[in-house]
Amino acid sequence: MVELWFAIVSVMLTLYVVLDGFDLGAGALHLLVARDDAERRQVLAAIGPFWDGNEVWLLATGGALFVAFPHVLAAGLSGFYFAIFLVLWCLILRGIAIEFRGHLADPLWRAFWDATLALASVLLAVFFGAALGNLLRGLPIDANGWFGLALFTHFGVRPPVGILDVYTVLVGMFALGTLMLHGATWLAWRTAGAVEARSRALAARLRVIIAVAWPLVTAATVAVDPPLFRAFATRPLAWLAIAIAVAGLTAVFAGANRHPALPFAGSCALIAGLLGATAASVFPVMLRAVPDPALSITAYAAANDEAGLRAALGWWSLGFPIAIAWLVLLLRLHRGKVTAASGPGY
């Protein structure tokens, strides 16, 4: 049951990154692919029906952690207290920017919210990537299972560590590039005209950057977390996930001339494969401790009791298919190329 819930949490987190990732990426690069008001409204029309629903998957992942691994959630929320406030502010600002932009036709008003959307989207991508980097590098967990982190210390990866250091910033920048690629493939699929052309051109450059950066980030991860790769070598699920990621990146490179949706499907597979391989390799550790790995918080130690896990599984089995069905319906209702709205709003 513990293994099943670890897989459920991993799947739900991956769904959040894949789904909210494309509108985060689109927000981060929309000032680059859209040059005037009509084009920016076209970008917003491409993500408008989806962005708020996509963020629900983050809440759902937190709920899954609460019912299955409550100590992991409690320790993470307290340890990343300041960082979580930064994330919440960026989430709020991004939503406000999308919704408030169309309330006034004033160019200065719209330019302000366009810049806010871009900045909040960039920061969220970097923060989420840095959070993953922290989990891989390790956290200063004490004997009671708690930790606290400054925003930064000496920017090195040796204790005392902070939220930001050379490795976590590297992972954050890699996450930003990956999500911008994800957003570019989405816009290339869902928009038309100049926005589509610029998105395709930007995706062509970003895919090369990601292909080069991936081995560099992998080498850095080997240096800061050697046990991760010792585990990876013995776990078939991790190898399968990496094969999916490689196939996804290949589709991003090769798919543009075959079907407009193929590069986006490839970027989905790339993200899902990278996160899946990471989850398969770190299990059962959920919060890795440094400098003493013995203090790490594992899924077995942090899990709810068996009865609680079974009861939660029953409710999850009802809710998860409904959420997936709603997502499929939403994609079907808003399929095809988008155009900027003629009236108020996007």
Q: Can you give the pLDDT at residue 173? A: 96
**pLDDT digit string (tens) for the chain, length 346 residues:** 899 999 999 999 999 999 999 999 999 999 999 988 889 999 999 998 888 889 999 999 999 999 999 999 999 988 888 889 999 999 999 999 998 988 888 889 999 999 999 999 999 999 999 999 999 998 999 888 888 888 887 887 788 888 889 999 999 999 999 999 999 999 999 998 899 999 999 999 999 999 999 999 999 999 999 999 899 989 999 999 999 999 999 999 987 777 888 999 999 999 999 999 999 999 999 999 988 889 999 999 999 888 889 999 998 999 999 999 999 998 888 888 877 766 555 6
- Please tell me the pTM assigned to this model: 0.93
Residue 200's pLDDT is: 93
Q: What is the pLDDT of residue 158?
A: 82
Other beta carbons within 10 angstroms of residue 130's beta carbon come to 24
Domain boundaries, the chain: 2-222+284-333
- pLDDT score of 342: 62
287 close to 139: Cβ distance less than 8 angstroms? yes
Q: Name 257's Cβ contacts closer than 8 Å, sequence gap at least 6.
A: none
Q: Would you state the structure tokens that stand for residue 330, as one six-digit string?
A: 């939403």
Q: In sequence order, what DSSP letters do the residues of 306-344 get, joined into one string?
A: HHHHHHHHHHHHHHHHHHHHHHHHHHHHT-S-----SSS
Q: What is the pLDDT of residue 341?
A: 66
Pairing of strands 162-164, 150-152: parallel
Structure tokens at 14: 């991956």
Cα radius of gyration rounded to whole Å, the chain? 20
